[in-house]
Amino acid sequence: MGLALVLALIVAPEDADQGISQRIFYIHVPIALTAYFCFGLGAVKALLLLWRGDERYDLESYVAIHQGTIFGALTLITGAIWAKASWGVWWTWSSNQLVLFLVLFLFYCAYFMLRYSLEDGPRRARSSAVYALFGVALIPVSFLAIRLAEDFIHPTVFTRDGPQMSGTMFATFVVSWGAVTLLAYVLYRVELAGKRLDADLRELREALQ
Amino acid sequence: MSWSQEELVAAAYGVVFVFVLVYVAIIATKLARLQRETAELVDLARARGSSDQAPDYAASVPAAREGEIGAS
């Protein structure tokens, strides 16, 4: 993360069009891609739960979606700051890309409402898994909306001709993406370990009392 | 309120930093709670272990003594 910060804030050259505000790109885009990945991972774990019936996938799916929601919130916040710097507004409802990402984020926020409205057990695990699988359909819609948008407000940097940036900028982006992915992985493992330990302790307490 | 470009870049990175910091603080709090609960359960298990052993010990002592008496 330290290397990514040094590259993004000091080493990477300033963008000719956007100036210094383009440096938000190095944190905003990796966080958005990580949010998509976490939601996708949550759906894969949900599918495994429904397919194999192994209860451990329920907790893994939940933690992945929780991480996705955190990174989704960060995507919206850093995106709003970048929008203020580039467009002069914090938010615009006329841009489908922004609204679709907000819909995706709110959809997964509702996942927690559904999950905690049901009693702990196989029924809750299966209902949460089905909901997580429905949500995954929104990911390609949200992702492709940025590419298929007609208003061209949201910039498209990666085209079929390759990344539309200099080598240093691309290297900075790759390092930042790697750092954010690593951060997400560490947070995922730590939260999962904490949840499993919590469940084990609860079971042990019930056995002892 | 007008924000300069530099302030907005600092705000974007600052928000991410604060989020990670808050997350780590929450995890640290949870870890402290889990450590406390583990210690409580260890105490509970030890107390139960000693109370389970006590009747066995009490029961075994007269039998052993009787054995000793019988042997002598």
Instruction: Flag whether pLDDT at A11 surpasses 70.
Output: yes
**Structure confidence by residue, pLDDT tens digits, A34-52:** 999 999 999 999 999 999 9
B71 alpha carbon, distance to own chain's centre: 49
Residue B58 pLDDT class (50, 70, 90 cuts): very low
Q: What is the mean pLDDT of residues A79-91?
A: 89
Domain total of chain A: 1
ipTM: 0.81
Interface test with B, best of A20, A81, A86, A197 (most B CBs within 10 A): A81
Which residue did the predictor score with more confidence, A43 or A142?
Answer: A43
Place of tokens 């139960």: B48
Q: Which tokens is A80 given?
A: 């709003």
Residue A9: inside a domain = no
Domain encompassing residue A34: 19-153+168-208
Q: Which residue has the higher pLDDT, A175 or A143?
A: A175
Domain ranges of chain B: 25-49
pLDDT > 70 in chain A, percent: 90
Of A21, A27, A209, the CB nearest to B16: A27
Per-residue pLDDT, A189: 93
Nearest residue of A to residue B40, measured between CA atoms: A205
Q: Is B15 on the interface with A (CB under 8 A)?
A: yes
**pLDDT in the model for residue A154:** 62
Per-range mean pLDDT, top range of A11-15, A21-25, A106-110: A106-110
The pair of three-digit structure tokens given for residue A150, joined into one six-digit string: 């007609």
SS3 annotation, chain A: CHHHHHHHHHHCCCECCCEHHHHHHHHHHHHHHHHHHHHHHHHHHHHHHHHHCCCHHHHHHHHHHHHHHHHHHHHHHHHHHHHHHHCCCCCCCCCHHHHHHHHHHHHHHHHHHHHHHCCCCHHHHHHHHHHHHHHCCHHHHHHHHHHHCCCCCCCCCEECCEECCCHHHHHHHHHHHHHHHHHHHHHHHHHHHHHHHHHHHHHHHHHHC
d(CA A18, CA A86): 7
The closest CB to that of A208, out of B5, B11, B48, belongs to B48
Out of B13, B34, B44, closest to residue A198 by CB:
B34
CA A115 to chain B, closest CA, distance in angstroms equals 21
Residue of A nearest to B43 (CA): A208
Task: Confirm or reject contact between A133 and chain B (CB < 8 A).
Answer: no
SS3 category, B5: helix
CB A112 within 8 Å of CB B31: no
Quote the DSSP letter at residue B7: H
Q: Which two tokens stand for residue A106?
A: 């709110």
Give B16's contacts in chain A (Cβ within 8 Å).
Answer: 27, 31, 74, 78
> Tell me, what's the pLDDT at B4?
87
Position A119 in a domain: yes
A121-154 burial by CB neighbour count: b if 16+ within 10 A, else e?
Answer: eeebbbebbebbbebbebbeebbebbeebeeebb
Nearest to B23 among A5, A70, A77 (CB): A70
| Domain-located, residue A53 | yes
For tokens 């695990």, the residue is A125
Tokens (6 digits) for A88: 């002069």
Strand A162-163 and strand A158-159: the pairing is antiparallel
